[in-house]
Structure 1
Amino acid sequence: MWLSRALSWTVCVSMVLPNAVPGAEQPPLPQSLPKTVAVAAFKNGLAFVVRQGAVQLQSGTGRITPIPNATLGTLWLAPGEANTSLDEVVAYRYNVSAERPIQSIAEVLQANAGKTVTITYSMNMKDYTGEIVGVREWKPSPEDSGAEGSPMQPVVSAKPQYLLLRVDKKLLAFPIGSIANAVLPDDTNFQEKVEQQRTALRFKIKGAGEKTDLTMGYLEHGLGWTPSYMISLADDKTAQITMQAVVMDDAEDLNNTDVFFVVGVPNFAYSETPSPMSLQQNLLSFMKDAGRRDGDNYRMYSNAIAGQMIGAEYKELDANNEPSFAQTVTELSGSPEEDLFLYSRTGVTLARGERATYNVFSSTVGYEHIYEWEVVDPQRVDAYGNVVPYNPNSPDATAKNSIWHSIRLKNTTKFPWTSAPTMVISGTKPVSQDTLPYTPKAATSNLKITIATDIRSSHEEREVARQQNVQRRHGYEFDLVTVEGTMKLKNYKSKEVKVNIDKTLRGEVETLSDTGKAVKLGEAIQTDNPLSRLTWEIPLKAGEERVVTYRYKIFVRG
C-alpha cells in the first residue's frame, strides 16, 4: 500500500514539475576557494588545511570550487560574522567550456574543416591542394566481422583514419598515416573547445548579507614534513643541535601561510577514507571501501551512519577574529586535551610540487660520552623449561655483542625532540649518522656513534650446579640448574671510560657483582623461568681490565 502511494506521489510530482527551459538563467559560476592561511603538517603525509577569505553570496547562498580531497568527517565550513549560522552544504558538478591543445595531425585537420591545405601523399610523393572536408574512421563491413558464433574471431586492431579532401570537385580520401607533409594556412586552429566537468560546494548561510568571511578546514593527503638533526660536537661536554624540517607539498599552493610541523602520534581513524562530499565515489563504493579499510570498527562506523550510535568529542574553540569553526555548532563546548607539539613557521610560500627546508631551532646542549654493551645470548631454554634446539642460521653473536660508543644528550631546549635521522659532525668532519629517539624536554637520550674497537669484551656462561628431578609436572621431570656468567672488559684507550652493560635472561637471578641491578619483568610471570633484566655501570680506567659476574637458576626439563 505504502509503495503504491509513493509511486503515485512520484508520478504526480513529475507531472507538475516544470521541464528545463532552453535559455533559462544559469546559476552563477563558483568562485575560487579562500586563501590558505594555516597548515598543520604531520610526518605521515597528512595535513589539516585552514582556508579563510571573503565569499560573495546571493540570497545567502555561496559557491566555491574546487572541492578539496578531504578525508571522511574532516571537511568543515563556518561563517565569520556574528548572528549567522551555516544551514547546508551541497556538493555538485557543473560544466564549463574550455580549450585544450590539439595533440595529433588528425585532430588538427578535423578542427580546421573547410580550410584549404596542401598535403604530400607518401605513396607517390605528389602534392594535393584542396578543401578539408573532415577526418573519418574506417568501419569494417559485416563480411569482415566474421560469422556469428564462429570460434575464429578477427584480431581487433586500431582503426585507420582517412582525410577527406575536396580537390577539383573530387572527393579524395588519404590515409592519415600516409600523409608525409602538410602545409596549413596562417589561421589554422590548434585549440579545441571541450566541455569540462568540475566540482563545487554550494552552501547557504542564515542571517548573512552579500558576502561572508568564510573559514574552511579539512584533512588531506599530500602535504607532510620530515625532520632531521645535525649535532656539531664543540668539545667533550657541549654540542650544537640544529633541527631542520623538509616540507613536501603535493597538495596545496601556499602563499604567506603559517605552517605548523606537528610532533606526536596523530590518531585519524578514517584518514584513508575519502569524504563523500569530494564526489569521488558512489554510495556502494564508499560503503565497501569504508568496511574494507576500517575492519572491526566498521560496525560502529555503519551504525553511526544509520543514526543508531552517536559519539562526539567537543573542543573548546576560540571566538576571536582568528580562523575558527566555533560558530558552526555554537551550542557545543568543552575542554581541549593537547598531546601534540607544534613547531611553527610563518610566511611560507610554496607551490604545489615544490620542496623546502626550514631551520626549526638551534641550541647548545650538554652531552657525555658513554659506551653501551648489550649482551646477547642465543636462547637455550624457554620460559617453561623446554630446551630450544640450536639454530645454525642465527645471526653471529659477536657482531651483536659489540660495544658501542654513544653520546648521551640532555634536552635543555624549549622543544621536544621528535624521532629523526641525525648527522653528527666534529668541525667539518663527519662522525656518524643514526636515529635520535623522541626526547621530551628535560629528558635524556642516547645516540650511537660507532663501534668502540679500543674496548674489548668477551662473555661466557657455564653450569656450576644441577639438582635433578626437583619437581614433576604434566608427566615431566625438571632439573634446577645453576648458571654463572662471566663478562670481561679491557680498556685500550688512553682515557677513562664508562661502560653501561645491559643483559636480559630467563631464570631466577641470585647474585650480581659490581653493584649490578636486576629487575624482574612482568612478561610470562606464570612460568617457571621468569624474565629479568640485568644492568651495570662500569668505570674503566685507561688500560684497566675488569671481570663482571652474575649467577642465576633455571628450570630445565629432563
Structure 2
Amino acid sequence: MMKLVLATGFLFAVSFHASGEIPAVPQVESVGLFKNGVAVVRASFEAKEAGSYVWDELPRSIHGGFWIESDGVVSVRATTRMVDEAVAVPTGILQRDLAGQSVTLRLKKGSEGGEAPVVSGKVWALPEQPVTKSWDSGFFDASSSWRGISPPRTETPASTGNFLVLESASGRQFIELYSIASISVDGPAVVAKRESEKPVMVFDVSQPPRDGGRVRITYLARGLAWAPSYRMDMGEGGKLSIRRSTVVRNELIGLRDTEVQLISGFPNIEFAHVDSALWGGATLTAFFQQLGQDTSRVSGARGAATQQMVMYNSVSAAPANALPDFQEGGAGDDLNYESIGKRSLAPGDSLSMELPAAETTCERVVEWVVKDPRDAYGRYLSSGMQRDENEAWDALKFVNPFDFPLTTAPVVITEGGRFRSQGLSQWVNPGQSTCLRMTKALSLQTRSSEVEEEGQRELVWVGGNNYRRTTVRGTLELHNFRGKEVTLDIRAEFSGEMIEAQDKPVARLRTEGVTSVNPRRELLWTLKLAPGEQKTVTYRYSVLVSH
C-alpha cells in the first residue's frame, strides 16, 4: 500500500501583476429579490483617493442594468489580470503535487526479500502547457434556458504516464508508480505557484466621491430568488389563520449582514435574458445572439411560464381557481417590497423562514363554473377542445387581511390542522376577495345543458361574412344531497347577447373577446340550497353563428 505524506491547503491568488492598483472588495449592502431569479444588488467600496481599484469577483450582470451611483468621477473597465496562485491542494497526480519537492522514496521489496530500496531526489516540474482561456461558453436565451456554445479546443496537459520522474546530479530517474511503497518529503514543503489570467473589473477613480469616499454600485443579475408559500387553517366560527413562509435561494454572491428585500409584482425586465457586455465571460457573438432573440416567439416559452406559475405574479385564473373580483377592494401597490432584515448567505445556501401571519374570517361556498361551449364565432367547440371544468368544487372564500398584496404562491389549506387541499393562490390585493378551490363537491349534483330554440333564424351580414342569429336556452340543474344548507357561487359563461335569466344574476363582460363578433359574457349567481333541495335555473341569449 502506498503511503503518501503531503501538505494540504487551498487554492488562492496572492498578487496581481499590475503595479499601483488597489484591491476593491465591494460590500453588498442590500439585495432585492424577485421570484423569477432576478435580483437588484446594491454594493459599495471605499475610494478616498484617486487611483485604479480592482474587483476580481465581477458580477454577471444583465444588459443595461449596471450603474455607478457616485458623485465622484469614476469609469469602469472589464479586463484581465495575470495572477500568481499558490497550489497546495493534492490532485492525486504525484508529478504535479510534488513538483520541486525533495523527496525520499521507499520502494517495495522484491520477491527475493531483503532491504527495501531507497531513492532520493527532486521531483521534476512538468512544463506548463498553453491553454486557450474560456471562463464560460454559452448564454441564457429568452426563456431562461442555457444555450451552450462549443468551447475552444485546448492543449492536452503534459503527463509522465505511470512514472514519477526525479532529478539528481546524475540525471533524471523514472520510477514506476506501482513500485513505490511510501514517499516522504525532505525539509519544508515548497508551495508551488502558477500564473493564470483572470477576468477583473477596474474602477478608475479620477475624483473621489464626497459621499464618505464610497463608490456605490447597483446592478441587476440572475441567481437570487425567493419562493413564497401559504398555509391557511380554517377554524371554528368562520375564522381563518393565514401563515406565510418563504425559501430564499442564493446562487449569485456571498451575502454578509446584507439587507434582504422580497419583491412581489410583475415588472417588465426586457433584457433579463441578455448578459451585459461588461461581464468578463461575455462575447460579442453571444451578446448579439441574445439581443436578436424574439422573446415573444421563443419555443416553449408559454409552457415554461406555465410550469413556473408560482414564480410569476398573475391575475389570470388557473383552471382550478376563480378569478378574483377586482371591483371589491382597493388595489395595492403594483410592486411590493418586504424586508426580512439582514442575512448572511453563502453561494449555494438556502434560507427558509416564517413571515408575519394574520387572521381573518372566511366563508365555505360551493363554486360551479360553467365554461362557454362556443368559440367567438358562435360555433360549438369540439369534444376534444372542451375542458373538463364544468364541475362543482367546495371552495374557501375570504378577503386579504394584510395591508399588502398576497403574491402568487402555492397554498395548503387545512381544517382544524387536518389537510384539505393544496392549490395556487393568485395575486390578491389588500381588501380584495378571492376564492380557492379545495375538494370536488361530490355530494352536490350539478348538470348544465343548452338547446337552440326553434323559430325563424335571421341571416346577418357582418364584416363580409354571413352569420345566422339563433336563440339559445341554457339550463342549470342542482341537487343538494348534503344534510346541511350550502351556498353556491355559480358562474355561467356564454357568447352573445343576454335576453333574460332567472333569479336576477349579475351580468358582465369577460375580459377575453370583447371586440369579437359575439361579446363574451358571464352570469353570476349566489344561491342557497337547503338540505335535499333541487333547483333549476334557466337563462336565454342570442348568438351569431358563422356559416
Q: Give TM-score scaled by structure 1 length.
A: 0.72
Q: Which residue of 2 aligns with 1:52?
A: 44
Q: Which residue of 2 aligns with 1:95?
A: 82
In 1, Cα distance between equivalents of 2:210 and 2:543: 81
Which residue identity lines up with residue 350 of structure 2 in the other structure?
A: R
Are residues 290 and 30 of structure 1, via their aligned partners in 2, closer, same or farther at CA, if it must alter by over 3 Å?
Answer: farther
In 1, Cα distance between equivalents of 2:464 and 2:208: 83
In 2, Cα distance between equivalents of 1:419 and 1:72: 27
- Superposition map of 1:201-240 within 5 A: 201-206=202-207, 212-240=213-241
Q: Which residue of 1 aligns with 2:34?
A: 42
What RMSD, in angstroms, separates the aligned Cα atoms of the two structures?
A: 3.8
Q: Which residue of 2 aligns with 1:3?
A: none
- Structure 1 range deviating more: 548-557 or 407-416: 548-557
1:217-238 CA distance string (max 9 Å, x none): 2111111111111112222422
SS at match of 1:276: coil
- Structure 1 range deviating more: 420-429 or 102-111: 102-111
The percent of aligned pairs where both chains have the same amino acid is 23
1:438 aligns with 2:427: yes
Are residues 234 and 98 of structure 1, via their aligned partners in 2, closer, same or farther at CA, if it must alter by over 3 Å?
Answer: same
SS at match of 1:107: helix
1:106-158 CA distance string (max 9 Å, x none): 43476146533234499999965433563789xxxxxxxxxxxxxxxxxx999
Are residues 76 and 369 of structure 1, via their aligned partners in 2, closer, same or farther at CA, if it must alter by over 3 Å?
Answer: same
The total of aligned residue pairs comes to 464
In 1, Cα distance between equivalents of 2:334 and 2:512: 29
Are the equivalent residues in 2 in contact too, given 1:478–1:555 (CA < 8 A)?
yes
In 2, Cα distance between equivalents of 1:69 and 1:395: 46
Which residue identity lines up with residue 184 of structure 2 in the other structure?
A: L
Structure 1 residue 489, shift from structure 2 partner: 0.9
Q: Which residue of 1 aligns with 2:534?
A: 545
In 2, Cα distance between equivalents of 1:35 and 1:157: 38
Structure 1 residue 62, shift from structure 2 partner: 3.5
SS at match of 2:407: coil
Structure 1 residue 527, shift from structure 2 partner: 6.0
Q: Which residue of 2 aligns with 1:269?
A: 270
Which residue identity lines up with residue 40 of structure 2 in the other structure?
A: F
SS at match of 2:293: helix
In 1, Cα distance between equivalents of 2:82 and 2:358: 55
- Structure 1 range deviating more: 445-454 or 118-127: 118-127
1:41-84 CA distance string (max 9 Å, x none): 11111111112343453x454343322222222222344xxxx5
Are residues 125 and 30 of structure 1, via their aligned partners in 2, closer, same or farther at CA, if it must alter by over 3 Å?
Answer: farther
SS at match of 2:80: strand
- Structure 1 range deviating more: 365-374 or 275-284: 275-284
In 2, Cα distance between equivalents of 1:265 and 1:122: 75
- Superposition map of 1:427-466 within 5 A: 427-466=416-455
1:536 aligns with 2:525: yes
In 2, Cα distance between equivalents of 1:293 and 1:508: 39
Q: Which residue of 2 aligns with 1:75?
A: 66
Are the equivalent residues in 2 in contact too, given 1:121–1:180 (CA < 8 A)?
no
Structure 1 residue 185, shift from structure 2 partner: 3.2
In 2, Cα distance between equivalents of 1:544 and 1:429: 30
Structure 1 residue 549, shift from structure 2 partner: 0.8
Structure 1 residue 251, shift from structure 2 partner: 1.5
Are residues 287 and 528 of structure 1, via their aligned partners in 2, closer, same or farther at CA, if it must alter by over 3 Å?
Answer: closer
Are residues 529 and 56 of structure 1, via their aligned partners in 2, closer, same or farther at CA, if it must alter by over 3 Å?
Answer: closer
1:514-551 CA distance string (max 9 Å, x none): 11233355765676544322222211122221111112
In 2, Cα distance between equivalents of 1:275 and 1:402: 50
Are the equivalent residues in 2 in contact too, given 1:60–1:210 (CA < 8 A)?
no
Are the equivalent residues in 2 in contact too, given 1:227–1:243 (CA < 8 A)?
yes
SS at match of 1:466: coil
Are residues 179 and 446 of structure 1, via their aligned partners in 2, closer, same or farther at CA, if it must alter by over 3 Å?
Answer: farther
In 1, Cα distance between equivalents of 2:211 and 2:514: 71
Structure 1: give runs of 5+ residues left out of the alignment: 1-24, 138-155, 297-337
1:196 aligns with 2:185: no
1:205-256 CA distance string (max 9 Å, x none): 4256998223222111111111111112222422111211211111122222
Q: Which residue of 2 aligns with 1:341?
A: 336
Are residues 125 and 527 of structure 1, via their aligned partners in 2, closer, same or farther at CA, if it must alter by over 3 Å?
Answer: farther
Structure 1 residue 457, shift from structure 2 partner: 0.9
Q: Give TM-score scaled by structure 2 length.
A: 0.74
- Superposition map of 1:348-387 within 5 A: 348-376=343-371, 378-379=373-374, 382-384=375-377
Q: Which residue of 2 aligns with 1:163?
A: 164
Which residue identity lines up with residue 37 of structure 1 in the other structure?
A: E
Larger Rg: 1
- Which structure features the higher share of helix residues? 1
Q: Which residue of 2 aligns with 1:408?
A: 397
Match of 2:72 among 85, 90, 95: 85
- Superposition map of 1:298-309 within 5 A: none
SS at match of 2:290: helix
Are residues 434 and 121 of structure 1, via their aligned partners in 2, closer, same or farther at CA, if it must alter by over 3 Å?
Answer: farther
Are residues 262 and 121 of structure 1, via their aligned partners in 2, closer, same or farther at CA, if it must alter by over 3 Å?
Answer: farther
Match of 1:500 among 480, 489, 499: 489
